[in-house]
Structure 1
Amino acid sequence: MPSVWKMAARPARSLERSFTRLLGLRPMTAGQRTLFKIDQVEALNKLRLVALVAIFLGALIVFKTLAAAGHEASATAWFAVVLAMVVVDILSGPGLAMQRPSREEVRAQYWRSVAAYFAFGLLWGALPLLFYQEASEDVRRVILVAITAYLASSAFFLAALPLAFIAFSTPIVVFFAATLIRSGVAAHAFELQLLCIYVLAFPIALRQYAVSFAERSLALAKVGEQKQLISLLLNDFEANSSDWLWQCDSRLRLLRVSDHFAQRFGMALGELDGRRFDHLLADLKSPAPCPGDRREDVLVHLQRGEPFRDCPILLVIDGEEHWWSMTGTPTYDRAGRFDGFRGMGRDIGSEKARERELEYLAHHDTLTGVGNRARFNHELARARGLTEAGGRRFALVLFDLDDFKAINDTAGHSVGDQVLRTTSRRIAGFLPRDSFLSRIGGDEFAAIIEIKEDFDPARLRDIVGKVVHEVARPLALQSGSYKVGVSAGIAIMPDDGQEPEQLMQLADIALYCAKAGGKDQVKLASSEDGAAFALRKQLELDLWNAVEKEEMFLEYQPVASARTGEPFLFEALVRWRHPRLGVIPPADFIDLAEQSGSIVGIGGWALAAACREAAGWPAELRIAVNISPRQLEAGDFPAWVAAVLEETGLAPGRLEVEITESAYRGGLEPVAAVVADLHTLGVTVAMDDFGTGYSSLSSLQRIPFDKLKIDQSLVVRGHGDKRAVSVLRSIVTIGRALGMHVTAEGVETAEHEAFLRGIGVDSLQGFYFGPPLSAKQAMGLIKERFGRNDRDRASSVA
Structure 2
Amino acid sequence: MVDLFKNSSIRLKTLVASFVLLICMLLPGISAYLTFSKTDTGLKSLSTVTLPKQLAVSKLKDDIVDTHVSIFRYVSWASNGVSPILLDALRAEVFAGVNSTTQRFSEFADRPDLSDIGREKIHALQTEWKRYEDVAKDTLDVGGVDAPMATMMLGMVDDEFKNVDRDLKAFLFDVTEKTRSFAEDLAYEASANKRVLAIGGMIAMAVSLVTALMVARSIVHPIQSITNLMQQVSSGKLDVEISDPQRRDEIGRMVRAVAAFREKIEHDNQLLKNREEELRLKNMQFDAALRNMSQGLVMFDSNARLVLFNQQYSDMYELSSDRIEIGWSFNKLLAYRRTLTNDYGNYNESTDTIPSAMRRGETTHHVITTSDGRIMNVINRPLPEGGWVATHEDITERHRAEKKIASLARQDTLTGLSNRASFLEAIEKALTQLNREKASFAIFVLDLDQFKAVNDSMGHPVGDALLKEFGDRLRAMVGKGDTVARLGGDEFAVLQATAAGDQKQAALALAEDLLDITTAPYMIEGAELVIGASIGIALAPEDGIDADQLLKSADLALYKTKSDGRNGYRFFDRVMAEETRSRRTLALDMRKALARDEFELHYQTIVDTATMETCGVEALARWQHPRRGMIPPDMFIAIAEETGLIIPLGERLLRKACRDASRWPAHIKIAVNLSPVQFRAGNLTQTVVTALADSGLAPERLEIEITESVLLQQNSENLAFLHDLRELGVSVVLDDFGTGYSSLSYLQVFPFDKIKIDRSFVNEMQKRSDCAAIVGAIIGLGRSLDITTTAEGIETREQFDMLRAAGCHQVQGYLFSRPVALSKLDLGATGNKTAGELRRGAG
TM bucket normalised to smaller? 0.3 to 0.5
> Under a length normalisation based on structure 2, what TM-score does the superposition of the two structures give?
0.42
Decide which structure has the larger Cα Rg and report it. 2
TM-score (norm 1): 0.44
